[in-house]
Structure 1
């Protein structure tokens, strides 16, 4: 889930925002940037909320420590770091519960 949220955020930041604010006013590129930031922004927001809920539920079920849980939840807010957070959380769960591999 963090990977999906991270990809959407990267597209928003590297494609949507520059097109929206740097393209010529009224151009097709600016319109595309507006659409990307609007629709992907909404999708990213909803998926991020789902990520937070799922990560919190997993943290509770897997009995993560509070610092590990907070770190995982906060890492999802930083572009690129969300990929590392998902990798770290997956590795942590697999090490605690070998049957999940």
Structure 2
């Protein structure tokens, strides 16, 4: 289960960072001309950077998010998460910044499970 947790955490961090860059940098630069037409004209340098981030990072994030979903689902089965916890973890992966809290929450859950499993044989061992 430790390997599944590591794979999940790596994908959660990659997807989370890309989501922040995309939503907090790329999209505002790309669509800033709608709000600030005088200072951020469409076709300007900032717009082009935002368009490139949106185009390339958006596609990469979409594909990597699919891998994240698979890793999270596999971890959920190994850790025997209930359906609400699993669905919440998967959905929170789509919210910038909150995705890091979801990763922390899931990691804490799995680590507690691993600690309980490690303590169990000692408690049921020979007296």
TM-score w.r.t. structure 2 length? 0.73
Instruction: Report the RMSD for the aligned CA atoms in angstroms.
Output: 1.2
Match of 1:51 in 2: 68
Q: What residue is the counterpart of 2:58 in the other structure?
A: 41
Count of paired positions: 99
CA distance in 1: counterparts of 2:72 and 2:23, whole angstroms:
24
TM-score by length of 1: 0.90
**Equivalent position of 1:64 in the other structure:** 81
Query: 4+ residue runs of structure 1 moved beyond 2 angstroms?
Result: none
- Structure 1: how far apart are the matches of 2:112 and 2:51? 43
Other-structure match for 2:4: none
Q: Deviations over 1:42-85 (max 9, x none)?
A: 11111111111100011011111111111111111111111011
1:6 equivalent in alignment to 2:21: no
Larger Rg: 2
- Equivalence for 1:17: 27
Long gaps (5+) in structure 2: 1-10, 33-39, 119-127
